[in-house]
Amino acid sequence: MKFAHLADAHLGAFSKNPVLRDLNLKAFETAIMKSIEENVDFILIAGDLFHNPIPDMDIVKKSVEIMKSAVDAGIRIYAVYGSHDFSPGVSSLLDVLASTGIFKKVVKLEQNENKILLRETKDPSGISITGISGLSSSAEVKYFEHLDRDYLRKIPSPKIFVFHTTVEELKPSYIVDKNAIPKSLLPEGFDYYAGGHLHEKILSEKDGSPLIYPGALFGATYNDLDVLEKRGFFIVEDFKPRFVEIKVCDFYKKIINADGLSATELQEKLLSLAEENYEGKIVILKVKGELVSGKVGDINFHEIREKFKETAMDILLNTYGLTSRESIIISVVGETKEEIEHNVFSEISDYGESFTWELFNILKEGKPEDMTDSVFREALWRKAYPILIAAVEGKFLKKEGKEKKEEQKEEEIKIREKESKEEKKMVEEKSMEEKKSGKKVTLLDFMGDAGDNSQY
């Protein structure tokens, strides 16, 4: 008996970054192709196949084609919901795909009084598979607390329990998950516990049986790309897991200390670093420290990113830890909170009060209770994106450039007035000459080929 255990593909993640989005899809394809090469009996997907309940249809099409390759090879696919795969009140694409026969959902949940009954799915290999989906609230913990454990215990071995939940004792220190469950809430007596949700590879055990998190196949966030060391999935033969690493690109990671540097010196340092060859690599730079002179806004990070992209597949530049000694004391007056906010935005924004105020009103929106974090983030991004693009394209007047633009306008007016006077003088002089010669003056004399009807 041989099966593949993977989780957290998050297909459709990095939707605004085509390079990372495609690498993520490639990682999933690599996992499926390796499973076919290994001639597994079936594939377990322990949640978060997609990054959103209703993902981009192009991603759906490509992922279905990939999974169909396994199905055509005689490999069954079983899945449970992950916390990203569904949202309350929204039909999940997993339901649609399950109805086509691409895979089977192994979540057969029945509620009987105060007990939750999980029915098993029987694989042709003789293994019973039971699963419970991941949720995005404390309801997940309650599900585990009310499982009918007597029924689960009586399911004959061999049997697998698939889940998408954080186990408190196994979570990495940097993860805060208030809905984690203790290991003791997992049902007893299973031969293999196939976990999902934690993006790091974790090997543990439950009553002597393997309890495994394969981790993310690529990653769903920029933090994943930074902290994850190895990515992949497990091939499990006779309940003995073997990790299969997936590497669709290399990563170059570096921390840049800006202490003691000016804004100009830091920019030169980053541009110098960009001169190296990063072919086939994602570059991840963390810039932190305090600039001794100049402001963070003086650094042309766009130029730096473009320079890295000449050889790198992509560049992720984190400057959250970068500060400057130069500070601006803002003093504003207002009679109401709204008036004070407007005045502050007018003072601090490089793109003017209108830009900052519009963006502020979007970002201060609260998340509806029935919406997942990922869907909420996508909704905010869809609203904010046009405003950010408008700022980049110069549709919002930069504060620091207002005076210069006014000066330019005045200068342009003076130049046009001067040109107009010179042109008028030239026309008058030419008219005098033509009067003497008896020839009519035309626009052709001043503007090029204006046509036969240009005489006046």
* pTM (whole model) above 0.75: no
Residue-wise pLDDT for 357-416, tens only, equals 777 778 877 777 667 777 788 788 888 888 787 777 666 655 444 454 455 556 555 655
For the record, the structure tokens of 383 come out as 């609203």
CB 348, CB 316: distance < 8 Å: no
CB 281, CB 312: distance < 8 Å: yes
Nearest-angstrom CA–CA distance, 65 and 229: 29
User: What contacts 126, CB < 8 A, 6 or more positions away?
Assistant: 1, 158
Q: Which of 173-187, 282-296, 335-349 is predicted with the least confidence, judged by mean pLDDT?
A: 335-349
Residue with tokens 């005098």: 432
For the record, the structure tokens of 421 come out as 């006077």
Q: What's the rounded mean pLDDT across residues 170-174?
A: 82
Which ranges of 155-262 does DSSP label H, i.e. alpha helix?
222-227
Q: Which of 225-234, 252-261, 411-420 is predicted with the least confidence, judged by mean pLDDT?
A: 411-420
* For the ranges 104-108, 415-419, 447-451, the one whose mean pLDDT is highest: 104-108
Residue-wise pLDDT for 60-107, tens only, equals 999 999 999 999 999 999 999 888 876 655 567 777 888 888 888 888
Q: How far apart are the first and last CA of the chain?
A: 96
- Work out the pLDDT band at 449, boundaries 50, 70, 90: very low
Q: Which of 84, 164, 197, 199 is catalytic?
A: 84
What's the confidence (pLDDT) of residue 442? 40
- Work out the pLDDT band at 137, boundaries 50, 70, 90: low
Q: What are phi and psi of 251, to 5 degrees?
A: -120, 135
Of 406 and 355, the one with more pLDDT: 355
2-245: CATH topology: Purple Acid Phosphatase; chain A, domain 2 (3.60.21)
Torsion sign across C-alpha atoms 233, 175, 163, 369: negative
Nearest-angstrom CA–CA distance, 42 and 74: 9
Nearest-angstrom CA–CA distance, 55 and 43: 22
Tell me, rounded to whole angstroms, the distance of Cα 416 from its chain centroid. Answer: 49
For the record, the structure tokens of 34 come out as 């390796």
For the record, the structure tokens of 64 come out as 């279905």
Nearest-angstrom CA–CA distance, 396 and 350: 9
What's the confidence (pLDDT) of residue 402? 47
- Work out the pLDDT band at 127, boundaries 50, 70, 90: very high
Q: What's the rounded mean pLDDT across residues 254-265?
A: 93
Number of neighbours of residue 74 by Cβ within 10 angstroms:
10
Helix (H, G, I), strand (E, B) or coil at 187: coil
Residue range(s) in the chain whose domain bears CATH number 3.60.21.10: 2-245
- Work out the pLDDT band at 313, boundaries 50, 70, 90: very high
Residue-wise pLDDT for 190-199, tens only, equals 999 999 999 9
Does the active-site annotation cover 84? yes
Residues paired with 167 in a beta bridge: 181
Of 59 and 330, the one with more pLDDT: 59
What's the confidence (pLDDT) of residue 173? 77
Nearest-angstrom CA–CA distance, 65 and 68: 5
Q: Give me the amino acid identity at 389.
A: I
Mean pLDDT of the chain: 82
Q: Which of 4-13, 113-122, 305-314, 337-346 is predicted with the least confidence, judged by mean pLDDT?
A: 337-346
Q: Which of 44-58, 332-346, 414-428 is predicted with the least confidence, judged by mean pLDDT?
A: 414-428
Q: Are strands 128-132 and 159-164 parallel, antiparallel or unpaired?
A: parallel
Q: 298: buried, middle or exposed (CB in 10 Å: 19+, 13-18, 0-12)?
A: middle
Nearest-angstrom CA–CA distance, 356 and 352: 7
- Does the pLDDT value for residue 242 go beyond 90? yes
